[in-house]
Amino acid sequence: MLRLPVFGLGLALIAPAGAAGPQFFERGAGPSSWVGDLAPITAADWSYARAGHLLERAGFGGAPAEIEHLTAMTPAEAVRYLVHYEKIDASDLPAFQETGIYPDGVEPYMLGVREALPEARRSGEALGVKVAASGPMRLQPVAERSYFLLWADQLEMVRYAHWWASRMVVTPRPLEERMTLFWHDHFATSNQKLRYYKRMVRQNETSRRLATSGFRDLLVAMSQDPAMVWWLDNRLNVKEHPNENFAREIMELFALGVGNYTEEDIREAARAFTGWTSEHLSFVDRKENHDAAEKTIFGHRGNFDGYDVIDLILGQEAAARFIAGKLYRYFSREELTPELHSALARVLRDNDYELKPFLTTLFLSRDFYSPASFATQVKSPVVLAVSSFRKLGLDAIPGTPDFRSFCQIQGQELFFPPNVAGWSGGRTWINPATLIGRANYLGQALFPERVSPPGGGGGGAAMSTMAEISSGKSTRFNESEEYNSPQASRAGRRRASRTVRLDRQAAVFDLSSLLRSAEVQTGEEAVDYLAGRFLRVPLSAQRRGAMLDFVATELGEATIDYQAESTEETLRSLLHLIISVPEYQLS
């Protein structure tokens, strides 16, 4: 279904500037004198191409009507519109529909077979399943239920990731989702370890709620987030046995960066965070596990707790530099001079770590539109997929081809980041195989009938651990005659894939109508319109020439016959070529 690609407001479509679409590439990158300049651009500097750049970075790009909507504003209005998105009604966005795999009263720490079986032996019941007091294979139902929940949880996580990416495609508040994605990368937490999707969902909701709030709020919320508490083991961080994992990462990866703390600071901060844990989906501060004695952190002495550590961290000069630099690199570009870095850190500190003023400065700055920033980023796999479907006018991520497999192969599976440092990003996304894989995935979305139906289950990061458990090689749960582990795993997996249904719907769209309504009449206009709609920079003469020849051969004549049966396929083949050129990776 084609969605009218507008921002949810009543919006008059602006008349296109040319015969086939706006002046896509006119006044793109600003002058090189803008590099490093945080002064805001003015209404006189504004253009369709620059509005497109803004939407690409602060969101996921969009169809021409969305960009024209921003072009019609002043730059300050456009940035305000994107940054202060609370004013835009998003209540129509579909909510996630849970399958409901967990029986009531199941405690998440009981979910593993290693936990459930002893419990069943002891009490005669686990995971809502009663077992017989004796007899062969008496624990088999509990083992099956346990494996079912392990498999079903991962599948439900996959469904939620699909829901989230679809929300990115359709949201009228693109920056909200873009920042939520940023925080998922920043506070990178993986369901590979958690195996309890509800905690990941809860973290995702928290990130969205606080996406552009203050950095302190985010640090507190994430320090108390149940998923984080499990992910970095703070639930094990107690007075008698301090665990440094969380204290180390909040300094190294979340707030300060290497070189801005000592090992002693980490040990002391770990003591301050003792007792911060979770119960089911809620934060709990267990005073009896808290080490209330004096600590010394960054040279300050006191009976610090977690809140104090966060305030001490944010009092460090390095904290503002760290997060300002990371946001800049995420939204603008890799290279950051010390002067610009200091200026950005000052903006953040002057605003008490509030993010909206900082983002406003960033998105309005001349530097953001300078040649060093303009169309010089590589799209991440998720951004590539989302922006492609947004530009195509879809209202969700298609169910076919398989979005999860694409993300796994490309190395950016939502809710399964590779480690606590998040995704490396930038140019590291691109190698010969991922470049080919990107074009293949989008080609399959354009020609879903060519995709063979997925086999059961699938492989990759989400499933690999359990694949090991379920493979015949692993006999470690199989030493008792009370149950058979491989058999339980197979049965649990079968039931999980029957219970948790993944969306397999291919996208329905009509490229012919899209081009016809843009008044595209010739093959040449089709090349230029689609290149303008989907690319951030114009095609090289050689590439444009190859596409013109391709479309001329396929169409047979200069004027497009929209009645002809083969036209839709030809246009899709042309679009497949456009999304296959190296330029398409640029954001």
Residues near other proteins (CB under 8 A): 233, 236, 241, 243-245, 248, 252-253, 258, 263, 371, 375-378, 409-411, 418-419, 421, 424, 427-428, 430-437, 439-440, 443-444, 450, 464, 467-468, 471, 473-474, 476, 537, 540, 542-543, 545-547, 549-550, 553-554, 573, 576-577, 580-583, 585-586
d(CA 256, CA 250): 8
Cα–Cα distance between 511 and 161 in angstroms, integer? 27
Cα separation of 538 and 24, whole Å? Answer: 9
Q: Are 415 and 160 in contact (CB under 8 A)?
A: yes
Q: Cβ distance 111 to 149 under 8 Å?
A: yes
Nearer to other proteins, 70 or 143 (CB): 143
- Of residues 134 and 452, the one with the C-beta less far from other proteins: 452
Closest CA to 461 of 511, 504, 406: 406
- Residue 185 and residue 222: Cα distance in Å, rounded? 13
Nearer Cβ to other proteins, position 239 or 516?
A: 239
Q: Measured from the CB atom, is 123 or 480 closer to other proteins?
A: 480
- Cβ contacts of 141 within 8 Å, gap of 6 or more: 129, 131
Nearer to other proteins, 66 or 402 (CB): 402
For the bound state, the minimum distance from the C-beta of residue 576 to other proteins, rounded and expressed in Å, comes to 7
Nearest-approach distance from CB 471 to other proteins, in angstroms: 5
Least gap, CB of 419 to other proteins (angstroms): 7
Question: In angstroms, what is the minimal distance from the CB of 483 to other proteins?
Answer: 18
- Supply the minimum distance, in Å, between the C-beta of residue 327 and other proteins: 19
Q: How many CB atoms lie within 10 A of CB 271?
A: 23
Q: Pick between residue 7 and residue 534 the one whose CB is nearest to other proteins.
A: 534
Closest residue by Cα to residue 387 from 187, 215, 189, 534: 534
| Nearest distance in Å: CB 433, other proteins | 4
Whether 22 contacts 16, CB under 8 Å = yes
Q: How far is the CB of 276 from other proteins (least distance, A)?
A: 17
CA distance 141 to 131: 7
- 434/499 with CB nearer other proteins: 434
Helical H runs in 286-411? Answer: 306-314, 317-331, 338-350, 355-364, 381-392, 403-410
* 189/360 with CB nearer other proteins: 189
Tell me the closest approach of the beta carbon of residue 435 to other proteins, in angstroms. Answer: 5
For residue 381, is the peptide bond before it cis, meaning its omega torsion is within 30 degrees of 0? no
Instruction: Mention every residue, 6+ apart, whose C-beta is less than 8 A from residue 410.
Output: 381, 429, 434, 437, 438
Specify the residue, 122 or 473, whose C-beta has the smaller distance to other proteins. 473
- Structure letter (DSSP) for residue 282: E
Q: What are the Cα distances from residue 244, in Å, to 51, 237, 265, 270?
A: 45, 7, 10, 5
Least separation in angstroms between residue 424's CB and other proteins is: 7
